[in-house]
Structure 1
Amino acid sequence: MTRQLLLSILLATTMLRVSASASSVDHNISKGLMPVSKEQSIKMLQPFKGDFRILGSKIYAHDEQAKFSPIDYAVSWGLFAEPEIARHISVNQYDRYLNWKIDRLPVPKEQAMQMVSNMHIIPANPNIAQQIKNVKRGDLVRLKGDLVEIKDKDLVWTSSLTPTDTGDGACELFRVSSIEWIEKVQG
């Protein structure tokens, strides 16, 4: 009986270690490392860069995409990156989606919709993996990297290639290799 109990404990401990190491390997990309799992790949679609006002950010740890993108940024650019406009934009981020509103649109609705986006951020290296979590609402950041496609088992997650599109599939899947603060909110 004691021997059976010891074998059961040993088996359970071994299974937990295997499960933990598999989970760790699966999340390599979200830590800024290259994929180790044979089922995962990152394909560069095109270079991408820009100056973006951070309207909000949301950290993800438990959805399927968290293995690749640990954080989403709600961003604006162009006219909507101006502080006097950006401060009036309210955002709600959930389940990798973004809803936003502003009381008075300074431009036609169709144009306004093209200056706000939800970006799924993938760190290109461990240093960036730490930096991407330091953004605050109101920061103006210069991001450089690539729009990518991620594959994993049955998942194919492809970036939009047009920053002015809207609706489902309009988000950028952005593998960030550089982040520079142009303006940083104090506090």
Structure 2
Amino acid sequence: MSLRNVVFIALIAFAVWQCRAAETVSLGPGVKVDNAPVQTKINNSETFDFNDFLITPLADFSLQAKVLSREDYWLDKESELAPTDLALGWQNMSDESVLSQIDIRQSGRWYRWRVEQFPIPRRELETQSANMHIVPADDHVAAMLDLVNSGQIISLKGQLIKAQAVDGWHWQSSLSREDTGANACELIYVTELVIDQS
């Protein structure tokens, strides 16, 4: 890829980022999502082909959550499968009076946060939010994903998955909301996505 194309893509990404920042939704203080995500193990799941990847469902998964941040990707191998990451929060991490005291950023497929002083216990911050790699199952889900902005409340359903490519590349979802750091993100094949509050 030429330097000119890289610069062009970088400028488009920056413009999209600025538009997204301007579209951040404020719903006011108070917990907006009472419940944690729901996960159910799948026994004897069947692997299927999807966009030149082999997908193996690991668990059924559903949630309602506040969108803390979103990041779109174009250049990495993972973007062929999951073009968008959503940092999502529930319970105390859906309360804007808490979130206003936390600096939240995404980059390189990571969700990062920084605080001057913890507004809630650190463990609540870690276990009531997560970075989730979103794999749209169809064009309708992809179109809905395009409409998602920071601050909204969304609901989604699908499966936590393992993905493999013929060249040996693989990517697997975390199966816990309790983990942190590398390999703690969820990789979700999303079959239903709804914006509940915007």
Displacement of 1:177: 1.1
Deviations 1:156-176 (A, max 9, x none): 100001122111000000111
**CA RMSD of superposed structures (Å):** 1.5
**Residues 72 and 84 of structure 2 are in contact (CA less than 8 Å); yes or no, is this contact kept in structure 1?**
yes
Q: Is the 8 A contact 2:158 2:188 kept in 1?
A: yes
Unaligned runs of 5+ in 2: 1-48
Name the counterpart of 2:186: 172
Within 5 Å, give how 1:107-118 maps onto structure 2: 107-118=120-131
Letter in 2 for 1:182: D
> Are 1:122 and 1:175, in contact at CA under 8 Å, matched by a contact in 2?
yes
The normalised TM-score by structure 1 is 0.74
Match of 2:177 in 1: 163
Q: Distance in 2 between matches of 1:86 and 1:143?
A: 22
- Asked if 1 retains the 8 angstrom alpha-carbon contact of 2:98 and 2:120, the reply is no
Higher helix proportion: 1
Following the alignment from structure 2 to structure 1, what is the Cα–Cα distance between the partners of residues 51 and 72? 23
- Aligned-partner SS, 2:50: coil
The alignment status of 1:137 with 2:144, answered yes or no, reads no
Q: How many residues align?
A: 149
Q: CA deviation at 1:113?
A: 1.1
SS in 2 for 1:161: coil
Residues 33-63 of structure 1, C-alpha deviations (whole Å, 9 max, x = no match): x5253xx201110011111111111111110
Aligned-partner SS, 1:65: helix
The TM-score with structure 2 as length reference comes to 0.70
User: Is 1:70 aligned with 2:83?
Assistant: yes
Could you tell me the percent identity over the aligned residues?
Answer: 28
Judged with a 3 Å threshold, the aligned counterparts in structure 2 of structure 1 residues 103 and 53 are, in CA distance, closer, same or farther, namely farther
| Helix, strand or coil at the partner of 1:66 | helix
Q: Does 1:35 align with 2:39?
A: no
Task: Find runs of 4+ consecutive structure 1 residues off by over 4 angstroms.
Answer: none
Structure 1 Cα separation of the partners of residues 158 and 116 of structure 2:
33
- 176 and 156 in structure 1: CA distance in 2 versus 1, 3 angstrom threshold: same
Partner AA of 1:158 in structure 2: Q
Gaps of 5+ in 1: 1-33
| Letter of the 1:108 counterpart | P
Answer yes or no: is the 8 Å Cα contact 1:123–1:129 preserved in 2: yes
Aligned counterpart, 1:105: 118
Cα distance in 2 between the residues matched to 1:100 and 1:81: 15
How far is the alpha carbon of 1:82 from its aligned partner? Answer: 2.0
Structure 1 residues 48 and 36: alpha-carbon distance in aligned structure 2, compared to 1, 3 A threshold: closer
The equivalences for 1:46-85 within 5 A come to 46-85=59-98
**Residue by residue, what CA displacement relative to the aligned partner does 1:78-112 show, whole Å, maximum 9, x if unpaired?**
11112322343322111101111244423321222
In the alignment, the residues of structure 1 paired with residue 152 and residue 100 of structure 2 have an alpha-carbon distance, to the nearest angstrom, of 11
Once residues 50 and 87 of structure 1 are traced to their aligned partners in structure 2, the CA distance between those partners, rounded to angstroms, is: 23
